[in-house]
Amino acid sequence: MGRVLAYGFYDIVESERKTRINLQKKLKEIGFGKLQESVYVSPFDVVDDLREYLLELGLTDRVFVTASKRLLAGNEKMLAEMVWKLSDLNEQYAEWIGLLPRLRTQADLINAYEKYLDILSFDPYLPKELLPDDWLGYQVKEKVKSLLRYLMELKENNN
């Protein structure tokens, strides 16, 4: 494995709840997923970004960041499933694919696209090696491209 796994963990008291919530948002924004309460992990090279953020906010005494080139025990795919609930997300992609045969109107197509965007907001965009072998995200992406091309053709034909 050539990937570096970054870990962030913290101890921020309840009286600083707003700080804790903002930190959690930032962790998710830069690619971390919640492993346990106050423990986050990321397969992306984001340690420097996080360190800069922590320095700006003066949190380096309560938030700790480390990186590891390998897991000493366990399996990366299992870790990714545990952190990002990939099977649930894959099920949502499967449900989206199931909608396709029922799309009849332009409004149906637009609704399907909006549903895709909703699902996409939960997709952590993990490296392919961490995704389940039956990952549907790529298949759905291709179908959405086709759907968008079709919507653009409809729009052009209506003008």
Give pLDDT, residue 1: 44
What distance in Å separates the CA atoms of residue 130 and residue 43, rounded to the nearest whole number? 9
63 shares a domain with 36: yes
94 shares a domain with 126: yes
Given a cut of 70, the residues of the chain with pLDDT beneath it are 1-2, 72, 159
Task: Residue 9: name the closest of 87, 56, 67, 71 by CA.
Answer: 67
Percent of the chain residues past pLDDT 90, beyond the cut: 60
Structural domains in the chain (count): 2
Q: Which domain, by its residues, includes 149?
A: 79-158
Last residue within a domain, chosen from 57, 73, 89: 73
Give pLDDT, residue 147: 83
38 shares a domain with 15: yes
Give pLDDT, residue 109: 86
Give pLDDT, residue 2: 54
54 shares a domain with 9: yes
Question: DSSP class of residue 14?
Answer: G
